Amino acid sequence: MDIQEWQKEFVDAMNSKFPETWTKEERLLAITRQLADVSKQLQFDGTEIQHRIAAIFPDLFMLCEQCDVDINKELLDVLSWFHIKGD
């Protein structure tokens, strides 16, 4: 599945499950909390690390949606940056 399709699926599911709208700042705070959960799992050799990492994506997708990010274009731009020679 194309990443924009994943984004649409998650945004639709999140809007259905959580109809209230969060601000961009609230969404970013949720992502920060989830990253802290990942950090705890790493520190304490948690068994839920895969789930914790994957759970970050829906909020990232929603933040991209809120900020009108063309995720395919931006990911291609970021990937091309990694391939630039001489840096």
- pTM flag (> 0.75): yes
Indicate whether 16 belongs to any domain.
Answer: no
Indicate whether 34 belongs to any domain.
Answer: yes
If one counts the domains in the chain, the total is: 1
3-class SS letters over the chain: CCHHHHHHHHHHHHHHHCCCCCCHHHHHHHHHHHHHHHHHHHHCCCCCHHHHHHCHHHHHHHHHHHCCCCHHHHHHHHHHHHCCCCC
Can you give the residue range of the structural domain that contains 33?
A: 22-82
- Tens-of-pLDDT digits for all 87 residues of the chain? 889 999 999 999 999 998 788 999 999 999 999 999 999 998 887 778 899 999 999 999 999 999 999 999 999 999 999 998 765
